[in-house]
Amino acid sequence: MTAETGTILSGDSLTPTNSLSSWDLSSESATLTQEESAKQQKTRTLAPNLTRRSHKKSRAGCFSCKGRKIKCGEQKPECGSCLLKGITCVYPTEQSTRKSNLPLIRRNPPTAPSFPFPGAAFSMMDMRFFHHFLTVAYPHLPVGNDHVWVHEIPQFAEQHEYLMHAILSLGASHLSRLTGIDYRRESLVHRGQALAGLNHALSQASRSYGESDAMLASCYALTFQASYMGDGLTDFITMVRGCALTTDKIRREHSPTAFNLQPDWHFKFMAPRLEHLPPVDPTLLEDAYIALEEIRPYLTDDTHFDFHAGLVDIVISLQASSASGYMQFTELYSIWYDLCHDSFKSFLDPNNLVAQLLLAYFVGVQLLIIPIATHEFLHRADVSRIRVLYGVTEWAESIFERLEESELREHLSWPRSIISTVLAELNGQILQAPSVLQLHLTSKDIVPNTTILAPP
């Protein structure tokens, strides 16, 4: 995610706009002639037997007197000197007076600068994760809320520690995928603290401005992070459900929020973009439909049937048009949202092999949707960041391994072919099979190598 906007504090922005620099002398002192200067210097010479009268230095004087280096009478609202000369008299505020006594530069800063949370310390590496979140990794959902992610959410994170941990965990996982540097330990530590704080926050009854946003932003951040974790499929589905439940809770309680959470906002935002979606290769869709029909006899409970029907509806809709397929795909997540706790837990049980098979097809269908879903964040879509999809391919490979000793393994041909093609595209190989990610439609191309991938 490329952030088109950012918050930069320069040194000038930390200085009050009504203050005068020490070198900003008034025009009358700057235009003294050499003769006047000598005369002035002479009149200030004291006789040998006289001593300079001591006086209390004016520390609360106005800026004008300080700039002209004269003693201020400190009369309010205008001192006598400024009133006599007819110039604007501006006094420093109490806050700036207090700050002026603090050192501007701290020598030998601690290696782990403290955030404004009691007992919490964040490292310089965390600063990198935070910067990466603001500039690249912040979620594109809910759609059309980029300004909230870049401006409001970092401010809410100052008051809600678990949100900061969620931000850092997402930044660490995304950065790890892009750079190949292993930040899994750091991301998991932050994720654990974020989940603990989020669960506590969700249990609270009262809500003030910022708290609802902190909860929802944490849910989305942890959802996106899970998509970069090779073992994160269960976490991803759980957090998708959490996003929906939290959004519903905010709406029912009419909690104040900076996010645009209108029920029909997503479709209003996407409506003008649906006419320009790329088509999915019909061969991939035909093979998907046939494979899904072949696994129908293995379905045993209502959740299996509902999720299978949702996948079939997406494939059929994609055959009609990318727009209808996209709309149908957005409905698939509601199946997880509508499940009761026990049914949801059963569906995610690794020993529920039929559900695992359905999830393998879900991963394949989700990858088919990727070129379409990028229209949710067109100005931030960048093929150079396509490496983050390695996490999703690892989801599928874990399922393949889990079903390897099962009779269901023979029904993995279609999802295996999708994963094989996607990995080839991610590695820059030239395909003879139909493209899944459709990287040829992007403005930047991954430099291909000379390997030819035969049709799987």
> What does 131-164 look like in DSSP terms, one character per residue?
HHIIIIIS---STT-HHIIIIIHHHHHHH-HHHH
pLDDT, one tens digit per residue, over 8-33 is: 223 333 223 332 222 232 333 333 34
Q: What per-residue confidence (pLDDT) applies to 62?
A: 78
The chain-wide mean pLDDT, for the chain, equals 80
Q: Are 240 and 333 in contact (CB under 8 A)?
A: yes
Q: Residue type at 83?
A: L
- Calculate mean pLDDT across residues 432-451: 63
DSSP-derived secondary structure letter, 32: -
Using pLDDT thresholds of 50, 70 and 90, give the confidence band for residue 152: very high
Please say if the pLDDT value at position 448 is more than 70. Answer: no
Residue 208 is which amino acid?
S
Helices (H) and strands (E) counted in the chain, each on its own, are 20, 2
CB atoms closer than 10 angstroms to residue 407:
9
* C-alpha to C-alpha distance for 374 and 141, rounded to whole angstroms: 11
Question: What's the confidence (pLDDT) of residue 36?
Answer: 43
pTM score over 0.75: no
Residue 418: how many CA atoms within 13 Å on its side-chain side? 32
Distance (Å, rounded) from C-alpha 174 to C-alpha 180? 10
Is it the case that residue 453 has pLDDT exceeding 80? no
Contact between 213 and 147 under an 8 Å Cβ cutoff? The reply is no
Band the pLDDT of 189: cuts 50, 70, 90: very high
What does the pLDDT look like over 271-299, one tens digit per residue?
999 988 999 999 999 999 999 999 999 99
* Residue 367 · residue 437 · CB < 8 Å: yes
**Angstrom distance (rounded) from CA 433 to CA 417:** 9
397, amino acid identity: E
State the pLDDT at residue 68.
Answer: 67
* Tokens matching residue 59: 């520390």
- Residue 280 backbone class (left: φ over 0; alpha: ψ -120 to 50; beta: rest): beta
Measured over the CA atoms of residue 328, residue 332, residue 335 and residue 338, the dihedral's sign is negative
What pLDDT score was predicted for residue 440?
A: 73
What is the distance between the alpha carbons of residues 396 and 220, in angstroms, rounded to a whole number? Answer: 22
Please tell me whether residue 453 adopts helix, strand or coil conformation.
strand
Sole residue written with tokens 């989020």: 198
The structure tokens listed for 177 are 């995928």
Predicted pLDDT at 58: 53
- Specify the range with the lowest mean pLDDT, choosing from 65-69, 284-288, 323-327: 65-69
